[in-house]
Amino acid sequence: MLALSRKTGESIIIDNDIEVTILEIKGDQVKLGIKAPKSVPIYRKEIFAQIKEENMNTFADESGMEMLKKLGK
C-alpha cells in the first residue's frame, strides 16, 4: 500500500486518467473528489463487498453454475 500525505485542494493521479482530490478535512473525516472516465466503476468498499457477495450467491444456485460452465467453454 502506498501512503501519501495531501492537503485540501491537492490531488493524486492514478493511471493517467483518474484524479483523486482532497476536497475537505473535518476532524476524522476526509471528503474526496474523484474524476474518472465513465467506464471506470467507483464504489465504496462496503458496497463493493455487498455486490461481490450477491454475485457469488447468484452463481451458487444451479442456473448460475450452468452459466459458469458456459463461460468456461
Q: CA of 34: how far to CAs of 11, 20, 53, in Å?
A: 9, 5, 25
Q: Check residues 25 and 73 and name the one with the higher pLDDT.
A: 25
| pLDDT tens per residue across span 30-63 | 999 999 999 999 999 999 999 888 887 776 665 6
pTM of the model: 0.71
Can you give the pLDDT at residue 69? 67
Average pLDDT over residues 5-17: 96
Closest CA to 40 of 58, 16, 24: 16
Can you give the pLDDT at residue 10? 98
